[in-house]
Amino acid sequence: MRNVALKVAVAGFCFAIWPLFMNRSGLRSNIATGIFTAVVLAIVSLPAINQLEDLTKAKWLMILAGGIFGAVGVMAFNSVITQATLKEAGTLFMATVMVQIAVIATYQTVMSGDLSPKRLIGYLCAGLAAFLLLR
């Protein structure tokens, strides 16, 4: 398995599992987000120290936009996931992932300029899958 494939699998697994733990944390949304962020910051800071020279060539507007959207997204998501019952958590998480897929697919379509019949069928199938999985 290629290194990138392993990293994708690990990322997908971790992105899928952390909200389920946060759902059971017993914390309310904003404190859950704060504690989650502190733990993430503590863990990612150590390897990031070796890349400090990247800060001089960074596109700060993109960093700021990414950070703002990420913060709002994590706060909104934690608000939903920490208030959800154990039964609702999976469905609400799946709905969030479906929105992510729609945004990313739209971005990919715009960037590639490819709105082929095959891609349109993919959109229809994704919509049908979302409808069936969320019912």
What is the C-alpha to C-alpha distance for residues 63 and 68, in angstroms, rounded to an integer? 8
Q: How sure is the predictor about 51, in pLDDT bands with cuts at 50, 70 and 90? A: confident
Q: Which of 2-6, 100-104, 114-118 shows the lowest per-residue confidence on average (mean pLDDT)?
A: 2-6
Is residue 108 predicted with pLDDT exceeding 80? Answer: yes
Tokens of 86: 């154990």
3-state secondary structure of 27: coil
The fraction of the chain above a pLDDT of 70, given in percent, is: 99
pTM over 0.85, yes/no: no
Residue 37 parent element (H or E): helix 29-48
Q: Does the pLDDT value for residue 66 go beyond 90?
A: yes
State pLDDT tens for residues 22-35: 999 999 989 999 99
The structure tokens listed for 27 are 């914390």
**Domain spans, the chain:** 1-83, 87-135
